[in-house]
Amino acid sequence: MRNFVTTAAITVLTACATSVPAPAPPPPSIETPPAAPPRPSGLLLGGYDPAIRPQDDLYGFTGGKWLSETEIPADRSSWGTFAMLDERAEQDVRAIAEEVAQRADLPPGSDAQKIGDLYASFMNMQAVDAAGLKPLESRFARIRAIATHADVVRFIGESQRLLQRVPLNYYVAQDAGDATHYIGVLAQGGLSMPDRDYYLKQDPANAAFRKQHVEYIEKMLTLAGARRAAARARRIALLETAIAAIQWSKVQNRDPVATYNKTTPAALAALAPSIDWSAFFAAAGAPAAAVDVNQPTYVQALARLITDTPVSVWREYFFFQLLDVSAPYLATPFATAHFEFHSKALQGVQEEPARWKRGVALIDEQLGQLVGKAYVTRHFEPESKTEIHALVDNLLRAFDLSIDTLAWMSPATRAAAKTKLHKISVKVGYPDKWQDYSALAISRDDLYGNVQRGTAYEFARDLAKLGAPIDRTEWHMTPQTVNAYYNPAMNEIVFPAAILQPPYFDPEIDSAVNYGAIGGVIGHEISHGFDDSGRQYDGDGNLRDWWTAEDAARFKALADRLVAQYDAYTVLDGQHLNGRLTLGENIGDLSGLAVAYRAWQLSLDGRPAPVIDGYSGAQRFFLGWSQSWRWKYRDNNLRMRLVVDPHSPAQFRVDGVVTNLDEFYAAFGVDVGDKLYRPDADRVRIW
């Protein structure tokens, strides 16, 4: 059967065969209230393409017309539902920022003063252009003072609290081996292109990027007045390539066990004896205590690279990296050159975003929760928080029931999975406790100083966590962020206010589309606790193996089948997706949508779903998921995503997922010969 299912189910009330007579009908004066009319479907039918069969391409069916008629804005590398919501949030934050920036009566140190003055400092292009490179003069002098390899190490340490790209990053996070404590972390870094593959892959596209990279370095050095810029640019690019060659890949970095290496000071000294770790930590202002070394072989190799590379080349490298990360806050020639390489060349963006958009981005980065407090007051209804919590509870209940049906999982692991599920905490909308920015000074006439102070403030805030109790109220996204996340160390799912908007969530529409859209997102985040990475943490957030060996092997076999499915998909000029890189997100999509469907059925409480706009409830559920992923990419942006993004491109977040769900086959009558048909034995069912 290939036609849409449009027949509503009929509820039949049966009575026992007894001698009790049927009740008399009500008297004429009493009327039975009519059934409430169905809510609007929430389907964005104007963008559908009826020439495409959903059995062949659900993604194209729900977005074909939208895809053909929509142009990516000139200042964007991609465009879709998330981006449109992001644009709305940008406008909302802009209104807040411009309102307070125009006021002269704000108390110094107040929230409004900080927001207004940071925005005003960015928008004052005349002052920024007049300053030229003066804001960097003290940092240039510091780089010129580097005379020995020991100085290189100290510079890398002190740069942790400054606006400066360096090849080794230090930050503070929860200890994956003991989630009740914080720990310092050492991680690889230091590249000005998006990933190591840009330097190492031997193909025409990356060869072109490498050529443009050298040209960009030369341009930035020339703008800064450096002599022999071309030769210096080549040396800097060669050093970045050497750094890339010793880095771990994105796939390797997804392994939480391989990247957790708690290391004592003595063991760290033994790992990389040529680095003076005491000097490094002293320069950073951090304690020389045990740290988690994410990539031990990288640290070993970096130590050798530091001593094997002439100090003069390190000075050149640091000089360029300072220019590159500072360029967005410098005079127009530097900001424009930065845009032309990072956005136009690497991602295909045609036009630099309006300055106000960049100002809003800076506010989000530096004062995210401060402006977030004002944002939720204006744009997030308390009722939405209550409704989402109820929806999440239903998703958690459905996931619990799904665990009971897993034939591949043993009772012992099933019980442990339920224990973890029941410990998941939920955060919706905005923090219960807002971040304190009282230690951060913002000046109306000092843009670069504001950015440096903001960087130092965040680093100091990080360091203050060491030795302190875990703050379980902390959020790692702002309320105005259009996204959501699962944090394995906290075992929590978090949904900022800005994503809880149509078309992801609309309290005025039918529940099927809400469950397909925001329900799928919620299910996705829950499922991250049980994907190939998240499953290795227990319910308390500790990196601990709670699986039987047999169950772990069965899970891996299922995951490997999903890897193979996504490896086979191609985009652009035949480039394959990386099924191993995207595995966690693909599990999140597949399991999350399956659980969301079950939760939607539970929400009906036995009532039949009405037919609305010619579609059954089951069909609307899948249409809701699919239409929420309308997305267009510029070629270079998509090329970059294949390398660095753990998410599959939008088309496969829809069509790749539904081919594994029996409910999709039933809803649309998918059968042999349809392009989305996958034999039952080949369908992957994990959670």
pLDDT digits (tens, 9 = 90+) for 671-684: 999 999 999 999 99
Closest CA to 614 of 36, 2, 4: 4
Residue linked to tokens 């929590």: 492
The per-residue pLDDT for 236 is: 98
| Cα–Cα distance measured from residue 247 to residue 196, given in angstroms and rounded to the nearest whole number | 7
The per-residue pLDDT for 24 is: 42
Residue linked to tokens 């000139």: 74
User: In sequence order, what are the residues at sequence separation of 6 or more whose Cβ sits closer than 8 angstroms to the Cβ of residue 600?
Assistant: 511, 512, 515, 516, 519, 617, 621
**Could you give all domains of the chain from N- to C-terminal order, each with its CATH number?**
45-51+56-91+363-682 (3.40.390.10), 137-325 (1.10.1380.10)
pLDDT score of 7 more than 60? no
| Cα–Cα distance measured from residue 335 to residue 59, given in angstroms and rounded to the nearest whole number | 38
**207-221, 299-313, 378-392: range with lowest mean pLDDT:** 378-392
pLDDT score of 27 more than 90? no
Q: CA–CA distance from 77 to each of 68, 74, 325, 498, 639 (Å)?
A: 17, 8, 20, 21, 11
Q: What is the pLDDT of residues 656-668, one digit of tens each?
A: 999 999 999 999 9
Confidence grade of residue 573 (pLDDT, cut at 50, 70, 90): confident
| Cα–Cα distance measured from residue 577 to residue 564, given in angstroms and rounded to the nearest whole number | 10
Instruction: Report cis status (omega within 30 of 0) of the bond before 503.
Output: yes
Angle at alpha carbon of residue 271, lines to 266 and 273, rounded to 5°: 80
Confidence grade of residue 29 (pLDDT, cut at 50, 70, 90): very low
Say if residues 188 and 247 touch (Cβ distance below 8 Å): yes
Confidence grade of residue 35 (pLDDT, cut at 50, 70, 90): low
Local structure of 543: helix, strand or coil: strand
* Mean per-residue pLDDT, 285-300: 97
pLDDT, the chain, mean: 94
Classify residue 472 by burial, with Cβ atoms within 10 Å: 0-12, 13-18, 19+: exposed
Element of type H or E holding 563:
helix 549-567
